[in-house]
Every structure is written in structure tokens, then in C-alpha cells.
Chains A and B, each alone.
Chain A
Amino acid sequence: MKKASVKEVVGRLTADPEISRNIVHHEMVKGKAASYAPFPERLHSSIVKALDKRGIQQLYSHQREAFDLATAHNSITAVTPTASGKSLCYHLPVLQSILEDDSSRALYLFPTKALAQDQLADLHSLIEASEETILSYTYDGDTAPGLRTKVRKSGHIVLTNPDMLHSGILPHHTKWVSLFENLKYIIIDELHTYKGVFGSHVAHVLRRLKRICNYYGSNPVFICTSATIANPKELAEALTNSPMQLITNNGAPSGVKHFIFYNPPVVHKTFGIRRSAILEVRDIASFLYREGIQTIIFAKSRVRVEMLVTYMKELTKKKLFDTTIMGYRGGYLPSERRVIEKRLRDGDIKTVVSTNALELGIDIGQLQACIMTGYPGNIASAFQQAGRAGRRQDDALIIYVAQSMALDQYIIQNPDYLLGQTPEEARIHPDNMLILMDHLKCASFELPFTMTEMYGEFEVQELLAYLESEGILVKTSDKWHWMTDRFPASEISLRSASQENVVIIDKSIPKGTVVIGEMDRYSAMTLLHEEAIYIHQGKQYQVELLDWEEKKAYVREVDVDYYTDANLAVELKVMSEDEIYTLGEAEVAYGDIAVLAIPTIFKKIRFDSHDNIGSGPISLPAEELHTTSTWYSFNTPGGWKESDLTDALTGAAYAIQSFIPLFVRCDRSDIHVVPQVKAVHTEKPTIFIYDSYPGGIGLSEKIFTRWSELLKMAAQHVKGCRCENGCPVCIGAQEEGIRVKQDVLSLLRALNGGQNDVV
């Protein structure tokens, strides 16, 4: 059978009436030719030889620009879509520096251990082709003890992750003298993943790294590579506290991209429920499989990946040993993954179903089509996923299949939002006092601060004095010395902001209990209460026991079709009002608040349909959280009763909450929206939005200036929703016979200054 081209398949797809009537939007994005630049003259002959063996005789323009800037000692950030040869942006200057001076060292940072191990293979093959002796190693928890000394002393290139740098390298810097004395380059790959709390922590780890480098007399250049986000330069500068040059002129070629927006048909008009996206994806993917188009399907959870794989394998069940359809997700063995990656590159696998595990820079070559099961949560991820399709100059097909959720439906109604090339900002907030203080302790442990020293951009002498008063530091004639038997790095996890974390212990195998993660205690109240479904790397676990005293949650792996959502009874107290402005007749403020939270009950909610299928009580003590918040307070519109306002405000808050990820790049759980009919502080109806992490991570600060936009978007969406009386897509599921939706709409209309064009 002759294989169809993507173009032909797009034609057939749009001609099929069963499919085409659900296609809401079809758009073609033009391709572009490659832009090349010759090898730099100074490029070492061994590197030229290695590139030649890979069939590379010239560079893409961005690779050349990266080389020129980095070798002239400029820190750079290169924005590179999937498969544009981004690793050469840093390999070339690094290898050049080592070939020019054998004592040179480089440190590569990847967000996860797996990615570092992946990239090592790529680097090895390049070095091997150069026929030079350059030693490169990964350094992480898996590194054999016997090898560690060798890595420290003689590894030219060390590949690691921020967590290892934080607790395994920096506190032991005296063992890494030859690295820190000769460090020429620090590579930060996948820059865009360093956002939110994690990014804020990593920003401090890098400040500590720079401080140690300075102590040993090196001044390394940073090379960052990032997927497309709105603010790569700003993020890189905030993360590294160094000025950056931005490289955006991507020279890699791309073909025509066909974007198809597909909305499953409505099956239940009253509740606005649509046919399951999974089933639609199965049908479309089966069509592409039969047409011989190599396809990647993204699904949001492990369960859905496995469901889709099972459905899809129906196509091949009559063939023996057919493995042209495969799943790929966290939880597979590394060796298993390597095989799948290779077979994808070789084209043996026709269809792969993956979680976002394949979003990151794992080399699987380029496929022809990509199907997204639902909106991945932010534009940058959507771009990454879409970027998996498209072989050089060939056409690529990207199909977005919407689920019934608010964000998904918004995207399908507003394709320009996704295609408009305005990905979100990735924000970090190194100013968070708790995070700052944690790392100030680590930095003090690593090297005593002098009486005049700054820490990164921060003046910290008063904070050091505070640590002295707490008995952690001792002040001598010229320095602040660490003086306790604690090892601060082990008490601080980069993946969370509060200090006392709940450890999550998997006891699925009675004799082989393992710690699989940890969570700050504030989040733990709503996510790790007993009977909660905790999802970890796509696996579902049920919490069997939460030992709040010992801060341990015992979980067991389960396979269920629901998740849990806990209700928090929340009291808010404004501690300081830092900024304020008026918006029409309303007031918008920003400041610090104290949140007293008591979890009350939890609900079990079925995936996809979002039906409430059960509930139970939670008995945990109240927790206090100090964080940053923005709040919007307004006068009760004329003619409103307080009881009506309560329901309407709750519905409006629900709608607002679901849109926040469109404004700031964060997970739904990073931020909370709390409506109050009469807030203590303002004595008016008020909507509070606050960061879920102690000290705040800059999310509410960002929303502070964008309330009017947020309210407008919420109003438009609620109005545009096809349900009659409110549904999980817009204002949350409502009891039968109550017409809250009208109230929410008129409230939102009032909040938008009564503009009729809005609602």
C-alpha cells in the first residue's frame, strides 16, 4: 500500500462528514526554509570531524550565533522549538573550551535525572565521533560510589539536576575543587521548566553555585535553552541573576502545519456534556493509523494513556507480535523507554500514546501527526507537543481534541488563543522570604558570609543577624559562621516551599515500602487526607493513613476512574495592604494575608464527566498559611439579597479560578480563589486570590494588574457555555432547578461595569 501524504490525509479527514462536522476550525501555518551559517573558523578540527560524521557541514544560524556569543564570554538564552538542534548550541562551545584547554570544566543541569541520562548518550556519541578523550558523566543518586571520586576529580563535563546540585554537590564543594576552579560553562537545559516554587528554589541554588565559583576564582558563562515562552530572557536573568543575550532567530526549517480544532459532539444538552474525548481520539487515531501516518497522541494521565493504548491495539490484535502501537509514560523502565525511543526514530512504531513525558527533550525524531487529548494546561506545553509533529520540510498535522472542561472549551472557541503565538510567561519569585531564608542557611553552611557580603542581589546582613539570634550562626570578628550540627540542604526540598513536608510512602508492596515523594503540609491537607487519590507520575495512589504528627502519608497504588477534591473552610486575615487602585467602582488591592484553613469534606469526582460520585469527612487540625494575595472588593449591586449574592459569587469564583492558568503559568492547585460576601477587611463583597505556597510565589502579584481582563474573560465564557443552569464547564455543577447561572451572569455583568457587549 502506498503511504498517503499528510496533505492527502488532511483532505480525506475534512471530507469525511462524520468527522468534519465536529471540526470547529482548520488553519494552515506556513513553513519556512532553513537558515544556515558556516562553521566558525576557530571551531576545533576534531569537532568539525565529529559533525561531519553526523552529516553536518554547516550550522543553523542560531547555533552559530550561540557559539559566537558564548565563546566571547556572553551568557545566552536560546529559544529553540523541539528538534531544532538545540543541544549543539551548548555542546559546541563546551567541547571547544575543553579542546583548547584540557583543564576546562562544564556543568550541565537538566530538570530531571532521566533527562540527564538521556543527554549523556547523545553527548557520548558526539565525543566518540570526535575521537578525543573528553570525560563526561552523570552525577546523581544512581552514580556508583566508586565512580564518584573520578567524576569529581576528572570529569570534564558533569551532567546533573538541581536537586543533586543543591544537596549533593554545593554543600560538599571542597570535594569538587577542580570543577569549581575551572568551570567555564553552566548549561541550563529546558529553562522553561524552572517556574513557580521549583524555579524560585533553583534560582537560589544557582546563586549559591555562583558564590562558590567566585570563591574558587571562576566566572562561568551560562547557556540556557528554552521552549517558546513569553519571557525567556527575563526568566533566565531572574534565574541566574546574570545579564543574558537572547537568541531567537531559529534557523531550523519547518514545513506546513495543519491545525485542526475538534470538538466532540454534545450528548447531554442540559448538562452540556460532550462525548468522551478519549473515544474521539481513538477514532481519529485509528483513521491515521490505517492511513499509515506516524502519530503521537498526548493524554494527560497514565490511566488515559493505557486506556488509549488498549483501544488502539484492537487494530492490531489479529497480527502476531505486532508492536506498531505503543504507550510511553513515567513508570516504564529506562531500558524499555530507550527501546521505544529508538523504534520511534526508526519508524517501526506507527502510533505512540504518551503522557507529557515526551514533551521534554527526549530524542524520538519527528513524527507526522500529533493529537492532543485536551488542552495540556498551557500554551508552551501545547507548542512542545505540537512540535513533535513535522519532519523538516514535510507537512505536519496537529489535531486538538477538546474535553468538556472549561479551559478546553475556551480554547476550542478561541483558536487564536492557541495559534496567536503568545505563550504564557514563566515566572519565578526568588524574593519569597521562606525560600530565600532556606537557601541563605545553605549558603552560610557552604561558606561563611563576611560582614559586608551580599547574597545574589540581596542585602542579607540583617537576615544573618536574625539567624544568629536563632542560634544557627555565630558572629566572629569578620564572619558569620555556621554553628549547629544540622545539614540544612537535607531539610529543604526544591520541589516545595514550606519546610516541614509530609513524606509520601508507597506501601503497595508490603516488604518493599518506598518513599515516592513529599508535599508541603498546607497542600497535604487537601491532597493527602485519608482516602484521597494522589497522582504521582501518572500513577494513582490512594492514601490509606495520614499520620499528621509524624508527617507521613501511607499510600497504596490503585486504579480508579475518579479523583478527589477537598473542601477547605478558609478564614482570611489581611496583614498588610501594599498597593491599591480603583477599577470602576471597585477596589483592587495587593498585600500579605494570613489564611487559616480547615479541611472539611472531600468529594470523589469521576474523570471526564466530573460527576460527584461520593464524599467523606476530613479530620485534620487547622493550618495557618502566610502568603501574598490580591483582592477585588465591590459594592453590592442594587437589588441583590445577600443569599443570592453568596451563590452567584461562588459561581463567579469558580469561573475565575478555571481561567487563572491562562494568565499565569501555573497549575490549578498553585492558586486559590475565595469569595466572601462581607470580608472583614473591606466590609464589602470581596474575591480573594492567593498563592497556595507560604510566602507567595508571585502569582497573585501578576493577577493584581489584570483583574478587568480576568473578569471579562470569565463573563464571556459563562455566557458562551451551552448549558442551561450551570455545569462543571462554567460555574460548577448546580443542583437541579436552581437558576444560579443567570445570577452569576448578571453579577459578572455588573462587575464589568454593566457593559452589554461583554455579556
Chain B
Amino acid sequence: MSYEAKLMQMKKLVKKKIPKTTEIETERKHIIPPSPPYEEQWLSEGLVKEENEYGTVYKRVINYDLHYEHGNYQLAGLLHTVERWKEAKEIHPLSPNFDRPLVFFDTETTGLKGAGTLIFLMGFIEYTETSFTLTQYVLPGPDHEAAFLYATNLWKTPMSIVMYNGKSFDMPQVQTRWTMNRDALPPLLKHTEIDLLHGSKRIWKNEMATFKLTAVEEEQLGFFRDGDIPGYMAPIIYQDAVKNGRAEMLMKVLLHNEWDILSLVTLYIRSTDMLLLDTAHATSNAETNIGKWFTDLKSYGRSKEILQRIIVEYGNDEPRAHFHIAFILKREGQYAEALDSFLIAAYGLTGRERVIACEELTKLYEHRMNELHNALKWTMIAISITAKDTDISQCFKIRMGNAFNHREMRLRRKLFPGEAQ
């Protein structure tokens, strides 16, 4: 029978009541829910039961020694990483808050968004001077959510939390679940959020096609998964475990989550090395990206140092380094040097950056060097490439085109006063 026919038959089942004035539920008492009927089956797969004042939560705890290897890296490297951040004294989105414990965090959820999406797995890696510990909390069933959330330290201790896309996904989800249980639970604390997806995009821009964590693992961390379940299967597996009581596949999700978090540790080590060490074996592209990132963070000294190092090593083969250092030089008032760098950029680059380099050249020639003929020459070059370049957006084309046309008129007036334009 079709869905529609079924519904038409059910019509008789729906009864109605006359609306009465709405009564507001004032008090919601919290009753501790019973353990789910499939508890034995789940625990037999290796989960450990923990009870608290809100109900039940299941756990899986794993210890790693300092020399545990995940891909190309040992976990122990993290101890140096934190030291490096302390020495660097940078205000940087990847820098931990040293007053807070540093933890690595990832969740698995039953959907992508909205109040009906549950978190069913939260994994944390914490460390001491001697070992690393993974703690995974598993939601026994939707009625145990308060117990599940309460079991974590998210309400107790402010932490520095390292995540992958956590700023836009994991933390808002945690916030949502907390709000759904706000009558029962103590408030959620505000944590320091460190998002490695953002960092990876900044560092490996132009050289990675996708920033899926598995791609970063394979290309940057030397870790290759064997027997992993794809992430999009996780919701279906959890639903099946709740509806049918079987947890074998659920343990695969726990392994998937474990790998995710281990990769967070090594990715954090790798990213930090690239940012703060000059011996990190990066490509000139990635190094230029890093230099640009420091510029954007207004850390001009460090930025200039990195860009200069690239220029020494690669010369004119990395025109983007010249492009970015030119802005710093211009900022410092070294106009002649800035001009040289923009010239290298204008000849070596394509697309949007080339147009901007030309614009900078015209500005410098016109206002700083007072070489109006050169200014006009570069304006004409800029007009020509802006019109021809097919890689730049239409909007940018129009905006820059208009600006260059205005500039051309002004320059011609200055150069040839009194002539008809």
C-alpha cells in the first residue's frame, strides 16, 4: 500500500481536543532513565558502564605510551610542540591557552544539523608527561543524553580544545545538545577552540584538492587507514545499534573516531613545526602561505623573515613570496624595494594577484616615486590584462577595470595638462 493510502486509513485514528488555554510546564522533574534493553550486548563488545546522577554512559578508555607512532609521528612530539608555542610568544589561532589543559576532541553525530541531531560519541585525548589517554563516551540511548554530556569535563574545566572543523560543527552541536538539556545540566563552559581545518587550509592552500581529514593524513602525516568505515555511515550504524541492539559495527565507529583524534595530535605537531620551525621541509608554496598568514595576523617580523628565507632559497621562482613581502616593505616605507618585488610579482604571477601587483605598481610610481610615465605604462598594462584574463571573476574585473580607467584619465591630465582627453 502506498504511503498516502496508509495515511488515509489512519485518519480515523486521529482524535482532536478543543484548544484550551496553554498551560506552561513549569517544573520538569528529572527521572533517571532505566538502562537500555541491549546493554549486555553493547558491554560485551568492550564498552564499560559508568553511572552518574543523570543516568548511564558507556566508555572506552585507551592508554598510549609516549613513543606510540601514528603515521610518521610519535605522540611524544606534542610535548615539544607546546614548548615551541610557549617560546614563540605569538598570538596565533593555533596557539594553546597555556593556563588550560590541552585536549584533542572529535564527535560523531546522527545527522548534520538541527535540534533533532544527536551526538552519540565524544572522544577526548589528554596527555601527561608520561602517557596519552583516549576516553570515548558513547550515548547508551537518547534518553541518557544528560548523563552522557555530564560525564565529560566540558562543564567542569575550561580547556584548550583542538578539533577539525570544530568551530563550525562540533562545538555548535555540543552547544545545541547542552541547550536541549539545560534544565538538568550545569552550564557549558566557554573553551579555547583550536581548529586545524582552518589551519590546514591556510598552510596547504593551492596544493591540496580537498581538505578531508583522510586526505591530510595521507598527504601530510603518512597515515593510511585500513578497514575504516566511511564517516557518513556512522549515523546509520548508530541507529542500527539502538534499534537492533547490535554493537559490532558501532565499535568500528569508535575506531574511526580514535583514528581521527590520533591524527589531530600528529596534525597539530606537523602544523606547528611548519609554522614555527625553519627546518620543517615544506614546499615553497606552503611556506609562502605561512608567511602570508603571519602578515594577516599582523606578525610582520616573523612574516618577513619567512618570506625572505624563501626568496633567498628560490629567488624569482616563487613570485608569490615577492608579492607578499612587497606589502610589508611598502608598509615599512621601503618603496624602492617594494617596487622591485611588485615588479617580480607582476611578471611572474597570473590572475587576481597579478592585477593587484600592477595596481600597486601604478600607485607606487604615481604617489611615491613620482614617475608618472611609468605609472601610466603600468596602468595601460593593467587595463589590458584585466580585460584579457579569463581566470578572474567578472565582479573583480569590472571593479578593477573602472578603477584603472579613472587612474588613466587622472594620469593623462597630470602628464598632458590642457589636452583634450
Contact = CB atoms under 8 A, between A and B. Distances in A.
A242 interface: yes
A485 B236 CA distance: 7
> Which of A219, A431, A457 has the most C-beta atoms of chain B within 10 angstroms of its own C-beta?
A457
Contact of B10 (A444, A466, A479, A485): A466
Contacts of B8: 433, 575, 592, 626, 695
B19 interface: yes
A716 B122 CA distance: 74
A478 B55 CA distance: 14
Contact of B110 (A171, A458, A483, A695): A483
A431 B14 CA distance: 9
A502 B46 CA distance: 48
B143 A481 contact: yes
A483 B142 contact: yes
B179 A174 contact: yes
Contact of A626 (B4, B143, B235): B4
Contacts of A214: 22, 24-25
A457 B116 CA distance: 23
B4 A459 contact: no
Given A243-B19, A448-B142, A483-B242, A624 B4 contact: yes
Interface string B111-124: 11111111000000
Interface in B10-44: 10-11, 13-19, 21-22, 24-26, 31, 33-34, 36
Interface in B199-234: none
A680 B101 CA distance: 78
Nearest to B32: A477
B17 A454 contact: yes
A217 B110 CA distance: 28
Given A436-B14, A458-B16, A476-B142, A175 B176 contact: yes
Interface in A682-727: 694-695
A177 B4 contact: no
Given A434-B4, A459-B14, A242 B19 contact: yes
B96 interface: no
Given A476-B33, A477-B33, A478-B33, A483 B115 contact: no
B282 interface: no
B176 A174 contact: yes
A631 interface: no
A149 to B, nearest CB: 11
B387 interface: no
B17 A171 contact: no
B110 to A, nearest CB: 6
A172 B113 contact: yes
A511 to B, nearest CB: 11
A171 B33 CA distance: 25
B370 interface: no
Nearest to B3: A499
A220 to B, nearest CB: 10
Contacts of B114: 171-172, 445-446, 487, 489
B243 interface: yes
Question: Which of A210, A219, A626 has the largest number of chain B CB atoms within 10 A?
Answer: A626
B40 to A, nearest CB: 17
B22 A217 contact: no
B180 interface: yes
B175 interface: yes
A173 B114 CA distance: 8
A177 B22 CA distance: 20
A217 B183 CA distance: 12
Contact of B143 (A174, A218, A479, A695): A479
Nearest to B232: A485
A744 interface: no
Contacts of A243: 19, 21
A617 interface: no
B7 A695 contact: yes
A482 interface: yes
Contacts of A380: none
B312 interface: no
B2 interface: yes
A241 interface: yes
Contact of A437 (B7, B16, B110, B176): B7
Contacts of B11: 431, 433, 592
A167 to B, nearest CB: 9
Interface in A431-480: 431, 433-434, 436-437, 444-448, 454, 456-460, 462-463, 466, 471, 474, 476-479
A575 B117 CA distance: 39
A133 to B, nearest CB: 26
A373 B231 CA distance: 60
A474 B115 contact: no
B22 A474 contact: no
Interface in B140-165: 141-143
B117 to A, nearest CB: 8
A537 interface: no
A484 interface: yes
B4 A485 contact: no
Given A474-B243, A477-B34, A626-B2, 6 more contacts: A433-B8, A437-B7, A447-B115, A462-B14, A489-B114, A626-B8
Interface of B: 2-5, 7-8, 10-11, 13-19, 21-22, 24-26, 31, 33-34, 36, 110-118, 141-143, 172, 175-176, 179-180, 235-236, 239, 242-243
9 contacts: A174-B176, A175-B176, A243-B21, A437-B7, A454-B17, A478-B33, A485-B117, A592-B11, A626-B7
